[in-house]
Amino acid sequence: MGLRMMVVVAHPDDECFAFGGAIALATRRGVEVNCICLTDGQAASNRGASTDGKDLGRIRREEFAASCQVLGIQHYELLDYHDAQLVHANVHEAGKKLVQRMRTFRPHVVVTFGLDGGLNVHPDHTMVSAITSAAYHWAGRAKRYQELDLEPHLPQRLYHITTNFTLEEREPLMPAPWTCVLDTAEVLPVRIQAFEKHASQLPVLESVRPYLDKFGQQEFYTLISAATPQPAAMTHDMFDGIRE
């Protein structure tokens, strides 16, 4: 059936700004990718042409779909959690939704944010990291969510994105040391093209463009968990040694 990767994000545009390189590299090599976004980004500072929060949510859903198509993502879904409110989400229920999707899609690799909250230390990023990481483990345990009536599935690897630089104007960031460095230079144009589909957020692209130009040739990830005990090793391929 080929390799499969699930990417779980908090907001529309996370898929291209944070994970665009890894996703574009994966789809280019034929990996089947499923991207799940927990909120529709209604609390964004940039409102675009929206008339209210509901309208902005509709716009950002459409932008998310267009961005995913540029990145070559075959499956994408936007859930209904409230933007900027994930700290109040029921972890058991949110975890159940992700477990259901992991047991159905059965990814080899799961990718999400680190607990640090990413470069902008966003609480939603921290929460999506915690919920996804819990779901990664729960998906493989038969006693968890038996009511789903789905076969348990433990993905072979869980990666958190990390960084090799920080933003001085932001709160202190304590990123995890990386174990995987991806050469994303050749797919940087695709990543930017995907970001441009988020028309309501183009001021964000303008503000981060210098960082993309300077640091966008690589993405850094930390292997957080694996299906079998193993030492941490540096790699340049998330799927190195993965069994299909």
Residue-level pLDDT at 46: 84
- As a whole number, the mean pLDDT across the chain is 96
Q: Is residue 235 part of a domain?
A: no
pLDDT band at 49 (very low <50, low <70, confident <90, very high): low
Please report where in the chains the tokens 């898929």 appear, as a residue.
Answer: 15
Residue-range definition of the domain harbouring residue 38: 4-226
Please report which helix (H) or strand (E) contains residue 70, including its range. helix 53-71
Average pLDDT over residues 38-55: 85
pLDDT for residue 204 is more than 80: yes
**DSSP letter string, 18-46:** TTHHHHHHHHHTT-EEEEEEEE--TT-S-
pLDDT for residue 237 is more than 70: yes
Average pLDDT over residues 178-198: 98
Q: Is residue 239 part of a domain?
A: no
Q: Is residue 87 part of a domain?
A: yes
Which residue(s) pair with 109 in the sheet? 5, 157
Please report where in the chains the tokens 């996804």 appear, as a residue.
Answer: 132
Looking at the chain, the whole-number percentage of residues with pLDDT higher than 90 is 89
Q: Is residue 50 part of a domain?
A: yes
Distance, in Å, from the CA atom of 96 to the CA atom of 105, rounded to the nearest integer, reads: 14
The domain that holds 220 is classified in CATH as 3.40.50.10320
Q: Crossing angle, helix 188-196 and helix 53-71, to 10 degrees?
A: 150
Average pLDDT over residues 91-110: 99
Q: Is residue 238 part of a domain?
A: no
pLDDT for residue 241 is more than 70: yes
Q: Is residue 207 part of a domain?
A: yes
Whether this prediction's pTM lies above 0.85 is answered by yes
Residue-level pLDDT at 244: 84
Please report where in the chains the tokens 């209904």 appear, as a residue.
Answer: 80
Q: Structurally, how many domains does the chain consist of?
A: 1
Q: Is residue 64 part of a domain?
A: yes
Residue-level pLDDT at 34: 99
Q: Is residue 240 part of a domain?
A: no
